[in-house]
Amino acid sequence: MTRFDIIDHTADAGIVAYGNDLREAFANAAYGMFSLVAELNGIGEGSCHEVNVEATDQEALLVAWLNELLYLFDVERVIFHRFDIIELENNRLQAKAYGEKIDKSRHLLKTEVKAATYHSLKIEKENGFRIQVILDM
C-alpha cells in the first residue's frame, strides 16, 4: 500500500495519506508532511518525543496532531520520520515521534510548512483509511 500522495493546491500543498487502520493513516499523514519539509532518507532516531493531543473530533484531532509536530519541529529543531501511534480515539491521540536534531551539514531542508488546515480536510474509510489534508506553505 502506498503511504501517501502529494496533491497540488493553489499556493499550498496537500497530502492524501493511506492506512490499513486509522493509526497507520495518521502516521502516514505525518510522514508525508515531513517529506515536504526535508529529505527523510538518512534521518536517525536520536530524539523521541511523546505527543499527546486532544480535540473535539477526528478531523480536529488530525489537525492538532500535525500542528503539534510542526511546533516541535520549529521549537525543538527536530526532523521526524517515524511515528508510533500508541492510542487513538475520536478525540484523543497519544504517540511517539522519532527523529533527530536538524544538522544543516547533513539534512536537506526543502520547504516550510506553516500549518495543517481544515480546508478540504477528509477522513474516509474505503479499503482501509484515506486522509486528505491541505498544508499552509
Of residues 9, 53, 16, 5, the one with CA closest to residue 133? 16
So what's the pLDDT on residue 52?
98
Q: For the chain, how many structural domains are there in total?
A: 1
- The residues pairing with 52 across neighbouring beta strands, listed in sequence order, are 94
Of residues 54, 104, 106, 49, the one with CA closest to residue 81? 49
- CATH number for 127: 3.55.10.10
- Print the domain residue range for 80: 4-136
pLDDT beyond 70 at 92? yes
Tell me the per-residue pLDDT of 55-77, one tens digit each, with 9 for 90 and over.
Answer: 999 999 999 999 999 999 999 99
CB 79 within 8 A of CB 40: yes
More confident residue, 11 or 34: 34
